[in-house]
Amino acid sequence: MATTSAPDGIEIAAVAPDSSSAPLTQSVVLVGFMGAGKSAVGRELATALALPFVDSDELVVAEAGRSITALFAERGETDFRVLEESIVLRELGRAARRACVLALGGGAVRSDLVRRALRGVPKVVWLTAPADELWTRVGRDAGEAPERPLAADRESFGRLLAVREPLYQEVATLIAETAGRSPAAVAHALAADWQDGPR
């Protein structure tokens, strides 16, 4: 696995051959578990790359007309997943035609169809952090956006992370460790890495 150090020392690991040095014309898809910082990093990265930012959770909420927590409670996780999958597949199609930064909800990679579609995306970044840090961040966000019905307790959170990690690994072309880093620092390291050109 090739690794490279961005200007501020953030380790970024390439897990598949980098296909291009043209960051501004290519979409970037962010995957990772709850609390990984996909939305926060995504917004910063989109600004740095001058691309639109798209967040699949926000689209689910807009299209369902209710919060994710309400969707789970009223229609169940299965309905949420059906809607999430269709939105993510649609947005991946759009992202292939028009460059953007697209953040996927943490569970979107459960879908075989989504993972298959991600195989065609040159830049899929897995934002990682240790389980305890992810849990702390989720707790910190809880008051603002109760959109994580699956973050019920630390034990089940850890079990779900273990199930998900191989899925993120499968689709990632790049892994970015976020522990102890601000979203802006991670985003700028990613942007700088691409603007430096091919490795």
What residues line the site for ligand S3P (CB under 6 A)? 34, 38, 57, 68, 105-107, 147-150
Question: In terms of CB distance, is 25 or 156 closer to ligand S3P?
Answer: 156
How near is the Cβ of 106 to ligand S3P at its closest, in Å?
A: 3
Question: In terms of CB distance, is 44 or 57 closer to ligand S3P?
Answer: 57
Q: Which residues contact 196 (CB under 8 A, 6 or more apart)?
A: none
Question: In terms of CB distance, is 23 or 148 closer to ligand S3P?
Answer: 148
Structure tokens at 17: 């051959």
How near is the Cβ of 63 to ligand S3P at its closest, in Å?
A: 13
Question: In terms of CB distance, is 23 or 37 closer to ligand S3P?
Answer: 37
Q: Which residues contact 93 (CB under 8 A, 6 or more apart)?
A: 117
How near is the Cβ of 5 to ligand S3P at its closest, in Å?
A: 27
How near is the Cβ of 81 to ligand S3P at its closest, in Å?
A: 8
Q: Which residues contact 194 (CB under 8 A, 6 or more apart)?
A: 21, 23, 49, 123
Reduce the DSSP state of residue 31 to 3 states and report it: strand
- Closest of 12, 187, 171 to residue 107, by C-alpha: 171
How near is the Cβ of 25 to ligand S3P at its closest, in Å?
A: 26
35: left (phi over 0), alpha (psi -120 to 50) or beta: left
CB 3 within 8 A of CB 100: no
How near is the Cβ of 83 to ligand S3P at its closest, in Å?
A: 10
Question: In terms of CB distance, is 23 or 183 closer to ligand S3P?
Answer: 183
- Closest of 173, 184, 165, 185 to residue 106, by C-alpha: 165
Side by side, which strands form the sheet with 53-55?
A: 2-5, 11-14, 174-177, 124-128, 28-31, 101-103, 53-55
Question: In terms of CB distance, is 33 or 194 closer to ligand S3P?
Answer: 33
